[in-house]
Amino acid sequence: MSTTSTRPVVKPPAPSTNPAARFGWPLGFLALGVLVFVFNQWILPETNSDFQTGFGEWLPMTAVNEAVIWAVFALGLNIVVGYSGLLDLGYVAFWGIGGYVAGWLMAPFANQVNPAWANLKINILGHPLPGQERGIHVNFWLVLIIAALVCALAGVIIGAPTLRLKSDYLALVTLGFGEILPEVFRNGERVGPNGTWNITNGTKGITGIDQIPTGPFQLIPGVPATIGTFDLNLKFIVFALMLALAMFVSLRIREGRLGRAWLAIREDELAASMMGVPLMRIKLSAYAVGAAFGGIGGVLYATHIGGVLADRFNFSVSIILLAMVVLGGMGNVWGVTVGALLLAWINSTGLGQLGNVWNDVTGAQVNFASHNFLVFGAILVLFMLFRREGLIPEARTRQVLQEPERGEIESLGAEMEGTAEDTAAEGGDKK
């Protein structure tokens, strides 16, 4: 009976062979990155001081860098939530693990872990800050890889016992992990036998994270051997590079076998398993890949603020990341990136600046930064009510959201498509 229906069959888009489509986004991203860098490095210092302070208030380089890091996290969460449809409310755990891997391997902290280690001095191509040569110092680029691997492992460990649970329960378990790990970070000052081990330095956190070495690029005149704490423009290059990597991996992996399996289990787990998708392995790999992004982002964030602080890792971070993914357009790499950059900016400087403009124009005395909860909550609620698919929706998500729900059709026993559409329309009108 479905053969007579006139409903269009949803076909997956054929891979594009057009060079503009294939090379368009790397070139566009590169151009944007270069533009931001060139503007901040050379053009901004030449402008008059009014413009400089104004620009510094609206779009300071620290906020830009931070937003880029948030985008890396959001892309990682997008793989878990957007691609595979596994709701993860504890993503902040991977951020924390990545950060603490950096704290251990890139700071003088390691010699405080155990009293007997006081003279520990290991240096593997590391670039410690001057005067802080003790502890473990591993090269930044190696730490990125190590953190990605450690987080992927952590993702598998968290996922293995829990991934057979269904949506809400899975969300809850991940939330549990996302709450336990920050508590471990906060209280990790006295653990082990007789409380002699100090693995996280408690709420004081770990500071003195190493610098980023530039490697062969230091041969270029003007590029230092290591990127210092306040070298924000050069740091931007590193962070933008990692964002480009995250986007590239997200886009490419999606076209392959693994990515299609993720989309399949997102759409219908049961059908996917019937078609021979190994559910556990595919879900675990989604967790592992998403977590690896989190680890990379954690290391980046540790180098961005020059330390790891336990108080940063709380539940609201997971929620903000989820909001970035959902508001940007779940499953769509561009949407998620734009959503992450936008929300991160609003969270850091945007809201206060927009509020200042509003106050200047209307003469009001509203402290907008203190209303960020309202703004954030209202954005979430309004988006869910009126634009559920996000800013830049994925084509597939839009189709799913506009179709009537499957269970509804079945519950009415309507196998003829016409009937199903009528009931769905009726349900939609009734709200």
Binding site for other proteins (CB under 8 A): 81, 87, 161-162, 165-169, 171-173, 175-177, 179-180, 183-184, 186-187, 270, 315, 319, 322-323, 326, 330, 370-371, 373-374, 376-381, 384-385, 388, 400-401, 404-405, 408, 411-412, 427-428, 431
* Complex with other proteins: residue 210 or 269, whichever CB lies closer: 269
* Complex with other proteins: residue 11 or 430, whichever CB lies closer: 430
Sign, CA torsion 382/388/394/399: negative
- Cβ contact 101:185 at 8 Å: no
Q: How many helices (H) and strands (E) does the chain have?
A: 17, 7
In the complex, the smallest distance separating the C-beta of residue 331 from other proteins, rounded to whole angstroms, is: 12
* Spatial CA neighbour of 306 closest among 72, 106, 60, 101: 106
Q: Residue 106 and residue 141: Cα distance in Å, rounded? A: 11
3-class DSSP assignment, residue 137: strand
In the complex, the smallest distance separating the C-beta of residue 225 from other proteins, rounded to whole angstroms, is: 43
Name the token pair of 37: 């860098």
- Cβ contact 74:88 at 8 Å: no
Q: What per-residue string of b and e applies to 265-287 under the rule 16 or more CB within 10 Å gives b?
A: bbeebeebeeeebebeebbbbbb
* Complex with other proteins: residue 96 or 135, whichever CB lies closer: 96
In the complex, the smallest distance separating the C-beta of residue 57 from other proteins, rounded to whole angstroms, is: 24
In the complex, the smallest distance separating the C-beta of residue 373 from other proteins, rounded to whole angstroms, is: 4
* Complex with other proteins: residue 342 or 379, whichever CB lies closer: 379
- Cβ contact 64:236 at 8 Å: yes
* Complex with other proteins: residue 149 or 184, whichever CB lies closer: 184
Label the pairing between strands 212-213 and 106-107: unpaired
* Complex with other proteins: residue 112 or 273, whichever CB lies closer: 273
Q: Residue 161 and residue 268: Cα distance in Å, rounded? A: 21
* Spatial CA neighbour of 63 closest among 340, 384, 412: 340
C-alpha Rg value of the chain to the nearest Å: 24
* Complex with other proteins: residue 252 or 388, whichever CB lies closer: 388
In the complex, the smallest distance separating the C-beta of residue 176 from other proteins, rounded to whole angstroms, is: 4
In the complex, the smallest distance separating the C-beta of residue 147 from other proteins, rounded to whole angstroms, is: 23
Which string of DSSP letters, residue by residue, matches 352-370?
HHHHHHHHHHH-----GGG
Amino acid identity at 355: G
In this structure, the number of other CB atoms found within 10 A of the CB of residue 346 comes to 18
In the complex, the smallest distance separating the C-beta of residue 111 from other proteins, rounded to whole angstroms, is: 25
* Complex with other proteins: residue 395 or 401, whichever CB lies closer: 401
In the complex, the smallest distance separating the C-beta of residue 366 from other proteins, rounded to whole angstroms, is: 13
